[in-house]
Amino acid sequence: MSALAAWRRHYRLDAPGLTFREKVLIAMPLPAAMMSSVLIHNVYVKFYTDVIGLEPQYVGWVYLAFNIWNVLNDPVFGVVIDRMSYRTGKGKFLRVMRVTAPFMVLGLVAMAWAQPTWSQATLFVVFLAQLFLFDVAATFFTISATSYGYVAAPTREQRLDVDVVRSWLSNGFSFLATVVATQLLVGDLVTEHTTMALLLMGVALVNGAIYAVALANLKDPPELYARGNAEGRPTWPELRRDVLSILRMRAFWTWFGYGLLAQAPMGVYFTAFLYFMDHVVRSQGFEATIADTAPMILVLAALPFVANAVKRIGGKRSIFLGSVPYVAGFAALFWLATAWWHVGLCYLLIMFGRYTMSTAGAPLEAALIDENEMLTGTRKTGLFASVRALLSAPVAGAQLAIFMAIIGAFGYDGTAPEQSAGAVLGIRVATALVPIAFCLLGLVPLVFFPYGREKERELSEFSLARRTEAVQPTPAPSAAPGPGAGDPAAP
């Protein structure tokens, strides 16, 4: 046995059903999109406030408008993707990813070329328009990539393994964006706008190359869609019935409440990290790079052990255990961090807790869709995303607005050579105390989440049966799907 094969077997990354290579390929699209998201929603925000000169309140308005746009487009896009037909030779979800990825890269390239001489109104409009271009493509891509992952890796164990690989790839792909961002936006190594724009555009093109490699090697075979694939335009009664089938699930509401709150601030954590490193501990770029990447190397090395523990003790319990170091790390960041290496130690705790929680949650998110398919006969990954988008509309995208509002209220001035004591305190509050509050609130609905280890196992077996021809599908409960369920192969 080769050293690589022994390593895979030791970490249980060669579980039956999928090879290690297949897990890597299934995992790749979402990390590529995550790298794009880091650039758009984290790196470019600080680039626009500190280099281009867009005032923080305008960034908040951009994301408010962005949130309203998502309310309108996300539900439609989710239903469209669910109802798309499978095309021989082109697939379904893979076809969408291949069409939308180039538009995401185009949005990244365009973002780099705003000029500091433009008025605040012009910068606002340009930033907003470019964000919209990116988001339309990213919404189609992300829903399709998520849906593809659920059908290509149907079991709980496979999804955990894919999530570990996805975490490795996400951090590897984002490393370049992190290095460039910390070197450009923390300290004074590079200050000239055109040089920064060229470097950012270079990172965007590298991101494009990652999309190309990932999507060129994936396969989308018809057997993945043999059962549960609804096609064609839905009627209003069908759509109403499908939505109600989701809203009547206790698991959906409790998981939605947890997801809406618990780790929501982590969506902008890197933005907060850049402000914290630049203005609170006043580090240089290489120190910020070390503080961000060194903890993640240790956390990623531990992830296979975390995944194996989740397989043994269950997802729900693992999330509660992971919340302990997560909250402790943020508490230490607020009260104790005064040097760059303090931040690194705090982020070791934060990221270990965060990735424990997200790894444990990956198969639980998919299990919701599995249970709904078991009850109705059709798979509704896009509709789940649509319903979540509508329900979360009042607070979706609010994290960056909250961050900007707090630091603005405490007196942050992006053009000042040194921030006041009040502004520094505001950055500490927005970076550390806000995530603690959201996490504690998010754990409350998780208490009532109904999936224990046995329920996870039952749904995993059902999902495997639906995606493979050799295993007989688990019979649906007595409440059979109504007319128009769209699944002629359902039992």
Q: Which domains does the chain possess?
A: 19-221+249-467 (1.20.1250.20)
* Predicted pLDDT of residue 199: 76
451 pLDDT exceeds 80? yes
133 pLDDT exceeds 80? yes
Task: Look at 353 and 480; give whichever has higher pLDDT.
Answer: 353
* Predicted pLDDT of residue 265: 85
477 pLDDT exceeds 70? no
Least confident of 9-18, 62-71, 398-407: 9-18
3 pLDDT exceeds 50? no
pLDDT band for position 46 (50/70/90)? confident
* Predicted pLDDT of residue 132: 84
* Predicted pLDDT of residue 204: 84
4 pLDDT exceeds 50? no
Task: Look at 397 and 74; give whichever has higher pLDDT.
Answer: 74
pLDDT band for position 396 (50/70/90)? low
% the chain with pLDDT above 70: 86
285 pLDDT exceeds 80? no
479 pLDDT exceeds 50? no
6 pLDDT exceeds 60? no
- Give 214-223 pLDDT, tens digit per residue: 898 888 888 8
% the chain with pLDDT above 90: 38
- Give 117-129 pLDDT, tens digit per residue: 888 889 888 888 8
* Predicted pLDDT of residue 328: 97
pLDDT band for position 97 (50/70/90)? very high
Category of 481 on φ-ψ map: left (φ > 0), alpha (ψ -120 to 50) or beta: beta
Least confident of 105-109, 115-119, 329-333, 395-399: 395-399
pLDDT band for position 491 (50/70/90)? very low
pTM of this structure: 0.74
- Give 314-369 pLDDT, tens digit per residue: 999 999 999 999 999 999 999 999 999 999 999 999 999 999 999 999 999 899 99
pLDDT band for position 480 (50/70/90)? very low
Tell me the mean pLDDT in the region 274-301. 88
pLDDT band for position 181 (50/70/90)? low
Tell me the mean pLDDT in the region 423-434. 94
